[in-house]
Amino acid sequence: MKYLKTATLAAALLGGSALGAQAQELHFIMCGGEVRPADQTVIDQFQKDNPGVTVNMEAVPWGTCQDKSLTLAAAGDPPSIAYMGSRTLKQLANNDLIVPVEISAEQQALYQPGVLQTVSSGGQLWGYPHAFSTKALYMNCDLIEKAGMECKGPETWADLIKMAQTVKDQLGIAGIGLAGKDFDNTMHQFLNFLYSDGGQVINADTGEVLLDSPQTREVLELYKALTPLAEEGPTAWERDQLKDLFNDGKIAMYVNGPWGRGQHNADIHQLVAPIPHGPSGPSGTILITDSIVVFKQHDHPEVQAMAQKLAQALTTGAAQYDLDQSWGLTPIYQYEKMGIDKPFYQDDPFWQVFVDGIHTGGPEPLVVDFKSLQSVFTNMVQGVMLNDDTIDNLATKAGEELAAIK
């Protein structure tokens, strides 16, 4: 596909005279299978403001989207721009497929703490953060109270285990839902607990792998305790499926993002609480972003420049605020510093849970092979769920595997 298309027929009819403008087509791959209304509004206005520019949107489901973008770029036929998981950035950058993004120092200072860590590698920023999420514990108060307990967020892992055990004993249903399928949110769930125990994965300054740690072993001990209290066969379940179990009254608790509130049945009396903390640290959360990336256009620098311009339009000011608010995302900026009067999350106890965890959270690690990263965590989690190996061996092996791919 060519990303710079010139109206050659018109030129011929004009006897080869110079055209007043050159038509540009931006091929935009949008992971997720849909284009959000807030994004479409910006794209429509961008085309009006830039006559001759056409944004060709291709919405692709998550399961195949990132692979498609990588394959096209590696084959020399890259999209102009793409929305994809920030976990892919280091791999794309190391293969010279994307270009650094252009975010001013003033704008960088407005992001929530930790957001830019999710797009940073080698001292450069490789994506415009566009969707940000933190996680919390969702609780079905109807079930918890039926089991004879007060519906109050457990503060510690010991409290969480006790609550899940009581639900299991009193009601005969799973006290908690655990993600253990070969899917990225199995890693994400593990990191929610690791960051709620003061653990780290990779030192941001030195690049040292820190996964083989006492904190990792403590999380694995937690998983060992919770697995008998979870849904049957947790290695076959991922987070979106746990949402369905929660709606069906088959699990009393599970971890999800802020969008979960709108996905749950209206008749469920639910409470959102911070992720309980472990013995070695305060409550935290994984900080995850999806980003807009600009692919390198060796032959068409003008298309690359236009793609940067579109990415900036989508990820700044009112445009980004509209996406966060309408989609139900953790606010990616400190919008109060932008002069937005009473941003949607202010003075809201629900949103406060998701915002408070930012300061003690940690990023999704950036490595050169994100699928191998996912496998490191899946193997470790499934190993403890299936009792395939000792906790010490699982943690040691995970640390070695991560060091080999980082």
CATH code at position 296: 3.40.190.10
Domain that holds residue 343: 8-133+288-360
Same domain, 383 and 317: no
Token digits of residue 313: 């339009």
Any domain includes 346: yes
Boundary-marking domain end, from 360, 379, 397: 360
pLDDT tens figures, 330-349: 999 999 999 999 999 999 99
Decide if pLDDT at 16 tops 70.
no
What is the pLDDT, as a whole number, of residue 22? 62
Same domain, 378 and 250: yes
Any domain includes 1: no
Boundary-marking domain end, from 360, 375, 397: 360
pLDDT tens figures, 80-108: 999 999 999 999 999 999 999 999 999 99
Any domain includes 354: yes
Q: Average pLDDT, stretch 257-286?
A: 97
Instruction: pLDDT band for 204, please (50, 70, 90 cuts).
Output: confident
pLDDT tens figures, 218-240: 999 999 999 999 999 999 999 99
Token digits of residue 244: 């369905």
Label residue 159 exposed, middle or buried (CB < 10 Å: 0-12, 13-18, 19+).
middle
Q: Smallest Cα–Cα separation from 135: which of 359, 325, 330, 343?
A: 330
Any domain includes 3: no
List, in sequence order, the alpha helices (H) in 115-202. 141-146, 157-171, 184-195
Residues 277 and 194: their CA atoms lie apart, in Å, by 9
Residue the block writes with tokens 């010279």: 96
Same domain, 244 and 205: yes
Same domain, 387 and 249: yes
Any domain includes 200: yes
Same domain, 252 and 320: no
What is the pLDDT, as a whole number, of residue 249? 98
Same domain, 180 and 155: yes
Task: Please give the full DSSP string across 372-384, using - where no structure is assigned.
Answer: HHHHHHHHHHHHH
Any domain includes 2: no
Same domain, 129 and 140: no
Same domain, 217 and 246: yes
Same domain, 184 and 58: no
Any domain includes 339: yes
Instruction: pLDDT band for 13, please (50, 70, 90 cuts).
Output: very low
Quote the number of domains for the chain: 2
Any domain includes 336: yes
Residues 281 and 359: their CA atoms lie apart, in Å, by 13
What is the pLDDT, as a whole number, of residue 63? 84
Same domain, 244 and 157: yes
Whether the CB-CB separation of 221 and 380 falls below 8 Å is answered with: no
Decide if pLDDT at 294 tops 70.
yes
Same domain, 251 and 384: yes
The H helix count followed by the E strand count for the chain is 16, 11
Same domain, 331 and 344: yes
